[in-house]
Chain A
Amino acid sequence: MKLRDLTELAVRNLRESVLRNSLTTLGVAVGVASLVAMLSLGVGLQQLATSRLTKSGLFDTVFVTPKFNMRGGPQSQAGTQQNTEPRLLDEEARQELAKLPNVIEVFPQIRFPTEVRFDEKPYPTVVAGMPQSSQQSGSFDGMVGTFFSGESADEAILQIEFAKELSKDTNSLVGKSISIRYAERQPLADGSGGFSIIPKEKQLKIIGIVETEPASGFGGFGNGRLLIPLGVAQSLRATQVNDLRDAVRGGPAKPTYANLTVRAKSTSDVDAIEASVKKMGFGAFSLLDASKSLKIFFGVFDLILGLFASLALAVATLGIVNTLVMAILERRREIGVLKALGASDGDVKTLFFFEAGVMGFLGGIGGVIFGWLIGRGLNLATNIYLKRRDLPSIEVSSVPAWLVFTAIAFAVVISLVAGLYPASRAAKLNPVEALRYE
């Protein structure tokens, strides 16, 4: 028989026992729906986690330190292995790092202790310089006020805990001015690498308050609670921890960085960049390994969800087998007639096979729609819950295109497998016996 005739006959046979066949199809749909819902939850949570982590800058950055740091331990071991000349992490090195392939930006982490004067009272705290790119990190998403207007704007964003120290009504602080006192480092005229420290003061305008801790990236020595543009932070030339180290070590008076953060285009570039940085003679460190284990975790998570859903699908499969076997009993006579009219065993087999496939296909489509709705429901429920707690909304469930197609294909394949036995039984039916009237 031709494909078109087979399809027509299969669809027509399915329509004949609408109730039974739609119940079977519904069974498939429920199986597929649970599969889709569970996997969409897995995918959604994974996307959520990775997007948060990617935004946080933890997984697309390489943290660069000079080889001769005071930590010793594993890093100096790595140094002996690589046999490269230790280098100073200076401006020249920074330019070089910025030229590495797939590097978006290189910036130092600048943090220094300061004393803030506000309302005639002193408040000790730590200043952190924030690159403009940190606006996209997600840390500033729920902030009050605005982000820095520019790299060298004399503006400050307060971390909420610090803002609470300054005033009970934190929101009223936005727009007010504060002054910070810090120790400026001035190189000595003798070129010895030593420097003198001079107290300085700078006026800043508070433009925002943030609840998260944007400066809590790794490698810092404490979270900055007063955030200023990185450009401003650099221009202050405030004394930092490594300055003392430089002075003790002696040598040229060139200022060096305690560390540099290299941001890669994507997480997949991190490995290569880390390797190049090490080759240049610096210590390099990234959190990529952590993201790898995260992927493994979600892989296992998906697998477990998928296993549960497969149970539902297995039940659906039995439903198809049952429906088709019942159909053979009911349609014995019809099969006999078809064979008497010249249908081959193969024709009858394909017909039953097609019916199973059509049920699987329709069940697959229905299941994807159900599953998607369940996912929407989960999202809605989660977001209502989050809203009650004043938290920003998230997407816990996501149905990507590949899941749609895989689920439908899966349903069809499962149904065809379920149709194997009934189809071959129908094909083997003896027409003489099938036609003998009862």
Chain B
Amino acid sequence: MTPTSGPTDAVSIQLDHVSRHYTLATTAIRAVDDVSLTIRIGEFVALLGSSGSGKSTLLNLMAGLDRPTSGAIRADGKNLAELSSLELARYRRNTIGMVFQSFNLLPRMTLAENVELPLRLAEVGHDERDARVAEALQRVKLDKRTQHRPSELSGGEQQRTAIARALVNRPKILFADEPTGNLDSATGESIMNLLLEIRSSLGMTIIMVTHERPLAEKFATRLAIMGDGKLLSSGEKQ
């Protein structure tokens, strides 16, 4: 993986008329409605929009946690709609990393064990794991807290651990659903700086859902705006 400082021309994810509908009783909810979007490798895309506009649903579709009702999603050269659930799991394990608003660390595991989890799932050899875990925690500057439990950490530190966990398996795409939503603005900025630094040093594509427009404008390379399930704007930042 060669470090790059910005977007390239190669396509990372391509959405083609993607819809995700939920049918509740008689009413159909169009959580994602006919979205087409192309994201290139190395981009840092911020997904903006009001609550309930379908940001999380779209992110989950791209992350292979959910399947679209119609439309095609091509990610890293694969059509996610055509993958079996096992192949989809392999895609999540090897191609992407995920960070959540509520951190989602396993409370009874130490930081090191939390970060090791994706390596276990990917069947990375034991001899290699410790080094990779140490490297990931070093990157988020938590290498002195490896044996602590998540509850012993601040929110920002927990989110950094979650980022280390998302990075440890060297994914090509990082998805983040409101990663700063539970943090104060200063901590939020430090997390954003961390993501930016990781993107440039590892050459990753980052797709982040956020409510905070100023943060998005400051850090993202491109703002995609959603409203009522539709993509209102996918323009790159001016």
Contact yes or no, B117 A338, CB < 8 A: yes
Could you tell me the distance in whole angstroms from the C-beta of A106 to the nearest C-beta in chain B?
A: 70
**Contacts A1-B123, A5-B120, A431-B65; A342 near B108 (Cβ below 8 A):** no
Contact yes or no, B122 A342, CB < 8 A: yes
A437 at the interface (CB under 8 A from B): yes
Binds A, one of B96-104, B138-146, B200-208, B217-225: B96-104
B92 at the interface (CB under 8 A from A): yes
Contact of A344 among B86, B98, B120 (CB under 8 A): B86
Contact yes or no, A342 B102, CB < 8 A: no
Chain A interface residue bracket vs B = 20 to 34
Contact yes or no, B117 A2, CB < 8 A: no
A343 at the interface (CB under 8 A from B): yes
Could you tell me the distance in whole angstroms from the C-beta of B31 to the nearest C-beta in chain A?
A: 11
Instruction: Kindly list chain A residues whose C-beta atoms are within 8 Å of the C-beta of B63.
Output: 340
Contact yes or no, B89 A347, CB < 8 A: yes
Instruction: Kindly list chain B residues whose C-beta atoms are within 8 Å of the C-beta of A344.
Output: 85-86, 89-90
Contact yes or no, A437 B93, CB < 8 A: no
Contact yes or no, B92 A341, CB < 8 A: yes
Mask of B74-88 contacts with A, CB within 8 angstroms, 1/0? 000000000001100
A25 to B126, CA, bound (A): 30
Mask of A347-365 contacts with B, CB within 8 angstroms, 1/0? 1000000000000000000
Contact yes or no, A340 B121, CB < 8 A: no
Contact yes or no, A435 B121, CB < 8 A: no
B60 at the interface (CB under 8 A from A): yes
Could you tell me the distance in whole angstroms from the C-beta of A213 to the nearest C-beta in chain B?
A: 71
Contact yes or no, A340 B98, CB < 8 A: yes
Contact of A432 among B65, B86, B120, B169 (CB under 8 A): B65
A16 to B120, CA, bound (A): 19
Q: Once A and B bind, how many residue pairs between them come within 8 Å at the CB atom?
A: 67
Q: Of all chain A residues, which has the CB nearest B100?
A: A435
A346 at the interface (CB under 8 A from B): yes
Contact of A343 among B89, B104, B126 (CB under 8 A): B89
Could you tell me the distance in whole angstroms from the C-beta of B55 to the nearest C-beta in chain A?
A: 13
B179 at the interface (CB under 8 A from A): no
Contact yes or no, A2 B165, CB < 8 A: no
B49 at the interface (CB under 8 A from A): no
Most buried by A among B60, B65, B118: B65
A431 to B104, CA, bound (A): 12
B29 at the interface (CB under 8 A from A): no
Q: Of all chain A residues, which has the CB nearest B181?
A: A437
A409 to B85, CA, bound (A): 33
Contact yes or no, B120 A345, CB < 8 A: no
A342 to B88, CA, bound (A): 8
A339 at the interface (CB under 8 A from B): yes
Instruction: Kindly list chain A residues whose C-beta atoms are within 8 Å of the C-beta of B5.
Output: none
A347 to B102, CA, bound (A): 24
Instruction: Kindly list chain A residues whose C-beta atoms are within 8 Å of the C-beta of B98.
Output: 340-341
B232 at the interface (CB under 8 A from A): no
Instruction: Kindly list chain A residues whose C-beta atoms are within 8 Å of the C-beta of B89.
Output: 339, 342-345, 347
B66 at the interface (CB under 8 A from A): yes
Instruction: Kindly list chain A residues whose C-beta atoms are within 8 Å of the C-beta of B117.
Output: 338, 341
Contact yes or no, B121 A347, CB < 8 A: yes
9 pairs, A vs B, C-beta closer than 8 Å: A1-B121, A337-B106, A340-B63, A341-B98, A342-B122, A345-B89, A346-B86, A435-B104, A437-B102
Please give me the 4 A-B residue pairs with the lowest Cβ-Cβ distance, nearest first. Answer: A342-B93, A344-B89, A342-B92, A5-B120
Instruction: With A341-B165, A432-B65 given, name 4 new contacts (CB 8 A).
Output: A9-B120, A340-B100, A343-B121, A435-B100
